[in-house]
Each structure stands twice: as structure tokens, then as C-alpha cells.
Amino acid sequence: MPVALLPQVLVTYRPASVGVGILGAASAALPFSLLIFLAFVWLNRSLPGMPILLVGLILNLLVISANGGWMPISPQTASHLSGGGAAQGLPAGSRFGEKDILITSEATHLEFLADRFLLPPWMHYATAFSAGDVFVAIGAFWLLARQREAPIPQME
């Protein structure tokens, strides 16, 4: 699905100060990308894991759309990433990472769906993820795991 990834790549490589506002082109890229992914998953919903993946994409689209086109992350959650100093000095509303925006928990719409979960410290990989991301991961894992069970077509 390169068409769905292209808007996300464009957002990732734009300067953090460009297009952050609700009307900015960058803030429309992530929801647009998710809509393309949703259409693809919907068309393939009969495959194993796709219904779960669909739920995750819908949850992420809801929270992103409710918060101006960006995945919200609280300053408290962001402070746990990159050694604790990543969010220091950034005002609320600043882009954080590629697809997140710093918003206080109180100001976040659908905060329970935001990037608010962290991997345990013993994993030595600092990242924040959302409930939607969990559903996407489970659905993708299920899809990939079930592919091994499919019979291999024989050529005659």
C-alpha cells in the first residue's frame, strides 16, 4: 500500500514547524493515509486478523481526527522517551516525533485512545503507543501467523 504510506512519509520529512495547525496540509496527511488503509483493510476483511486490524485503525482515526490530525501524546508520556528530556521546553501543541503532537491529558479529546502506553524499561526501546496500535499489532500478527497455515498452491 505505497499510496497510503506516501502521505505519512511526506509528514515525517517535513520540518516540525510546517503544517501543524488544523488547516495545515501536514495535519490532513495522517487521517487521509488512515482512510486509505481503512479502505484496503475493509476490502480484505475476510482475511484472518483483518477485522481486529480494522478496529485499531478506526480507533486511531477517531483520536487523530478529534485532535487536529495528529496523534496526541501528553508531556508526561513524552518525558519518558529519549531519556526524559525529549519534551522539555516544548510548548503544548508542538509536534513530537513524526506523527505526535504534545497536548496535555486534560486538553486531549478521546485521551484514552492517545499514545499513552509505554513499553517496559527492560525492553530497552522507548516508544509510546495507543490502544488502536495494540489492535493493529494483534490483527497484523494474526494475519501473518495464519498465512503459514494456508496451503501452498501447486503448479502443474
What is the per-residue pLDDT across 102-148, written as a single tens digit (0 to 9) for each?
A: 888 899 999 999 999 999 888 888 889 999 999 999 999 999 998 76
Q: CA–CA separation, 21 vs 31, rounded Å? A: 14
* Between residues 85 and 66, the one the model is more confident about: 66
Place of cell 480507533: 59
Q: Is the pLDDT of residue 20 over 50?
A: no
Q: Answer yes or no: is 78 within a domain.
A: yes
Q: Is the pLDDT of residue 61 over 80?
A: yes
Q: How confident is the model at residue 85, as a pLDDT?
A: 61
| Average pLDDT score over the chain | 81
pTM to 2 decimals?
0.78
Q: Answer yes or no: is 153 within a domain.
A: no
Q: Answer yes or no: is 92 within a domain.
A: yes
Q: How confident is the model at residue 122, as a pLDDT?
A: 86
What percent of the chain has pLDDT above 70? 72
- Which of 154, 132, 128, 129 lies closest to 61, judged by CA? 132
Q: Answer yes or no: is 46 within a domain.
A: yes
Q: Answer yes or no: is 154 within a domain.
A: no
Which of 111-132 are b and which e, b meaning 16 or more Cβ less than 10 Å from the residue's Cβ?
A: bebbbbeeeeeeeeeeebbbbb
Q: Is the pLDDT of residue 54 over 90?
A: yes
Q: Answer yes or no: is 123 within a domain.
A: yes
Query: Beta partners for 117?
Result: 129
Residues 6+ apart with CB under 8 A from 89: none
Q: Answer yes or no: is 156 within a domain.
A: no
The count of structural domains within the chain is 1
Q: CA–CA separation, 121 vs 83, rounded Å? A: 11
Q: How confident is the model at residue 24, as a pLDDT?
A: 63
Range of the domain at 61: 2-147
Q: What is the pLDDT of residues 22-49, one digit of tens each?
A: 446 677 888 888 999 999 999 999 999 9
* Mean pLDDT, residues 67-78: 89
Q: Answer yes or no: is 14 within a domain.
A: yes
* Between residues 57 and 85, the one the model is more confident about: 57
